[in-house]
Structure 1
Amino acid sequence: MRRSLRGVVALLTALTLTAGTPAVANPAWTSLSYASALADNPLKGFLPFAGDHQTFPHSMEWFYLPLSDVMTGPRKFDWTAFETQLGAIAGRGHQGVFRFYLDYPGRPSGIPRYLLDQGLRTRPYTDFGNDGVSVAPDYNDPRLVAALENFITALGRRYDGDPRIGFITLGLIGFWGEWHTWPHDGTTEPENWMPSDDILARILHRYENAFAKTRLLARYPSAQNKNLDIGYHDDSFAFETLPPTSWHFVQRLIDEGVTDKWRRQPIGGELRPEIQSCLWDQPVTCTQYEDYTASVAQTHASWLINHAAFTGTGFTGDKYQRAVAGAKSLGYELTVTEAKLGRDRVSVRIANRGAAPFYYDWPAELAAVGHSGRVVRRWPTRWTVAGIQPGEEPTQLSSRINTRGLRPGRYDIVMRLPNPMPGGVPLRFANTGTDTTSGWLTLGSLKNR
């Protein structure tokens, strides 16, 4: 991530504070009031499977696609199916989170047709109710390895930094693209269907090299990915998350020495389907589950698939409110604690009261709002909130503004972090002065004379 705290332009006119006293070179900081941020803030919270869902607040939608939908030859791609899905989600003002797969139990194979025609070895199986519908490919076949590397390169070249995309889970390998083939992994049967460690490392490095902007998440912490710019997703969240069981997600983080990786790379996942609804009952009615609050605290997760909250009529009453609180507890919660409006500079202090940082370098903008309530001047900044850590002292940002040409009068000075995706939900600060539609936060008032 590239971070800069420099301002962009010079202030050329004198300003007067709200109280009418002359502006001074070193004005005082003014405290801003905290208010809980919305549950549908961008790039965090609960996700449904893609669709027009109205029963629960959200800013992202999840989808799977078989690789065969886009890959038609060793270096040939038809992105129509992917564009259709991504475009529909963006049309609802949301960002997409997705995974490509080769082998999804119970669904037709996602292996590109040309590889099957070339004689790629496959293995039928009946695990997970598959009953032979899908097949597991030979992941060590050089033709398949080359195909995956070519696809990842093409995906990154075309879509890295696309604002319609929230996060990408790596996929491609194993059942559901979850990087496991249990029970066919050498633990209970002699043959291991997983790729060799060398091939796994090649795929991981190809992903890291293909994506410099869009954030990636792997299913499991491993020796091959621990030092890469790749986060993780726990797809059995609050079910097989907490230590000390060896295969639980946090224990894997501990064993690989990456318990603090969330400070740089995102954590996501899925609430285990069996508990997506019962977890919000009071008392909890799930027959097996783990403490949700502890799971969030130890993983620092930013987002979770929780489709049950979006099905049918969704949750109601107190159950709905508990689920909303659960969604809001994920990821960042940024609040402007103080602002300072001086003769030639606007400064803010921003704290993170959430569980994780904001991971994208969205630039902030400042603006002047006239008495009519309209924005009459905008000032871009190089401010970024990316990487502001929870529980630490507020981060101070400062920028000059240029008011030349503004008519004399009093103006509200506001700031926001607009979503780079047209029509996307803006980041709303956890402050009472935040407009929940536009994202503008009022910092204070100044008089131009």
Structure 2
Amino acid sequence: MNCRSSLSGLLGLWVGFVSTISFADDLQAIPLKSKIANVQPMTGIVLWTANEETRTAPIQLEFSYLSYDQIVGEQGEYHWAPVEKILDAVAGRKHQAVLRWHDTYVGKPTGVPAYIKSLPDYRETVANSEKKRTGFPDWSHPELRRFVLEFFGRFAEKYDHDPRLAFVQVGFGLWSEYHIYDGPMKLGKTFPSVEFQREFAERLNEGFHQTPWMISVDAAGDHAPFAADKKLLALPFGVFDDSFNHARHGQENEPNWNRLGRDRWKVAPAGGEFSFFDPRDQKAALSPAGPHGVAFPQQAAKFHVSFIIGDDQPRFQNPERIREAGLACGYRFRVTQFVASASRAVVTIQNTGIAPIYHDAFPAVNGVRSQDSLRGLLPTQSRTFQVTAGGGAPILTIESDRLVRGQRIEFDADLR
């Protein structure tokens, strides 16, 4: 064979090889029909863990308060059994937890560990709050301040990556809502100094890398450092509003949302609780016009909330109404493109919800995940994902290591 013939033969083999590759990687549209039927993980109406309705209600999240003295009695001795009990019970119902740590609760002693209370120079205040005798911590004592920083370091180390835990709420004052509106409000004594509040926030940011932490919108006041400190405002904390839908929300609460940053929801969750100011706030929270003329889906979209505590809602609304309200919260995914070859797939997903998902979630084909995450995909935005799996009848799912057994992220799709 002469050289010209040899080159011609090699060229023919190469063209055939390239054609085979091209044919093997010929992306074809994959028909896909799917509809979101359930409230999505880490979103929706939230019930307290003690509510019997948690077993059957259309929810994904459960809420619980915890105090420091439930975990620590003696210095350096941490017993996490109360946390484990709550998280296991919640996960057993195929839900995740929102936990809030508190030091001051109306009508109760403080949540300060016994070893600190026994120190000779530690002096708490007991005074009326909402006509109930209430304990207020001694924030002037250095051991209390040191302990709280240590506590959240230990808690983050143990639970930051735990799928049973969706969000953590923290703060000071009554119910950790960053206020003492009724009682002895004394900075540096019954409420932490501004300097310690700043150190506290910075330490939380150092400890939590996966689980979002949240503070009350009341932290926007002059008794706290956040609104006037650009460095603190840059921290990725979320906010919760425990009087979300009361009559004067626009005049009294919304300015606090503004001071803490109305775009904060783009990087950290927004949530809260239906108000108790007026009986209508609970009874009509999910009525078509809301308690004061604004429907819940409209209010939720305005503030881009992912969840709202509504423990009384099963008393006032049927499961379908609660499900609809839950679906109006947080993220919602729609698949707008799904094409595949024998060896790979391309998927485009749009967020049609009102907030991002705040944990990693990955489109997966036949169980093979994309390298890119849906985390942070904003409402109306789309993201295209490459997956190294395909085939003639590929199966598309959305997977996340932050789900508990029995949870599933659903999606809408109508591809032909």
Point out where structure 2 has 5 or more consecutive residues left out of the alignment.
Answer: 1-18, 221-225
User: What is the DSSP-based 3-state SS (H/G/I as helix, E as strand, rest coil) of the residue aligned with 2:355?
Assistant: coil
- Aligned counterpart for 1:303 among listed residues 289, 307, 310: 307
User: What is the DSSP-based 3-state SS (H/G/I as helix, E as strand, rest coil) of the residue aligned with 1:279?
Assistant: coil
Residues 1:337 and 1:34: Cα distance change in structure 2 (over 3 Å)? farther
1:181-225 per-position Cα deviation (integer Å, ceiling 9, x unaligned): 124476xx9997322110101111111111111111111243354
Structure 1 residue 238 displacement after superposition: 1.4
Q: What is the CA–CA distance in structure 2 between the aligned matches of 1:347 and 1:185, rounded to whole Å? A: 60
Residue 385 of structure 1 is matched in structure 2 by 374
Q: What is the CA–CA distance in structure 1 between the aligned matches of 2:66 and 2:34, rounded to whole Å? A: 41
Residue 60 of structure 1 is matched in structure 2 by 61
Q: What is the CA–CA distance in structure 2 between the aligned matches of 1:402 and 1:293, rounded to whole Å? A: 38
- 1:280 maps onto 2:279 in alignment: no
Residue 46 of structure 2 is matched in structure 1 by 47
Residue 3 of structure 2 is matched in structure 1 by none
Residue 439 of structure 1 is matched in structure 2 by none
1:136-163 per-position Cα deviation (integer Å, ceiling 9, x unaligned): 1122321110110110111011111111
1:51-82 per-position Cα deviation (integer Å, ceiling 9, x unaligned): 45245201111001111000123322111111
Residue 179 of structure 1 is matched in structure 2 by 178
Q: Is 2:107–2:129's contact at 8 Å kept on the other side of the alignment? A: no
Residue 398 of structure 2 is matched in structure 1 by 416
Residues 1:321 and 1:379: Cα distance change in structure 2 (over 3 Å)? closer
User: What is the DSSP-based 3-state SS (H/G/I as helix, E as strand, rest coil) of the residue aligned with 2:45?
Assistant: strand
Q: Is 2:301–2:329's contact at 8 Å kept on the other side of the alignment? A: no
Q: Is 1:184–1:192's contact at 8 Å kept on the other side of the alignment? A: no
Q: Percent identity, please.
A: 22
Residue 214 of structure 1 is matched in structure 2 by 211
- 1:233 maps onto 2:233 in alignment: no
Residue 7 of structure 1 is matched in structure 2 by none
Structure 1 residue 242 displacement after superposition: 4.5
Q: Is 2:269–2:306's contact at 8 Å kept on the other side of the alignment? A: yes
1:261-307 per-position Cα deviation (integer Å, ceiling 9, x unaligned): 111111111111442332233565x4x57553342122100011111
Structure 1 residue 334 displacement after superposition: 0.8
Q: Is 1:238–1:291's contact at 8 Å kept on the other side of the alignment? A: no
Point out where structure 1 has 5 or more consecutive residues left out of the alignment.
Answer: 1-13, 16-21, 368-377, 404-409, 433-442, 445-449
- 1:83 maps onto 2:81 in alignment: no
Q: What TM-score do the two structures reach when normalised by structure 1? A: 0.77
Structure showing the higher helix proportion among its residues = 2
Q: Is 1:264–1:387's contact at 8 Å kept on the other side of the alignment? A: yes
Residues 1:204 and 1:83: Cα distance change in structure 2 (over 3 Å)? same
Q: What TM-score do the two structures reach when normalised by structure 2? A: 0.83
Q: What is the CA–CA distance in structure 2 between the aligned matches of 1:73 and 1:300, rounded to whole Å? A: 42
- Aligned counterpart for 2:385 among listed residues 390, 394, 397: 397
Residues 1:232 and 1:305: Cα distance change in structure 2 (over 3 Å)? same
Q: What is the CA–CA distance in structure 2 between the aligned matches of 1:383 and 1:190, rounded to whole Å? A: 46
Q: What is the CA–CA distance in structure 1 between the aligned matches of 2:389 and 2:289, rounded to whole Å? A: 53
Q: Say how many residue pairs are matched.
A: 381
Structure 1 residue 416 displacement after superposition: 2.7
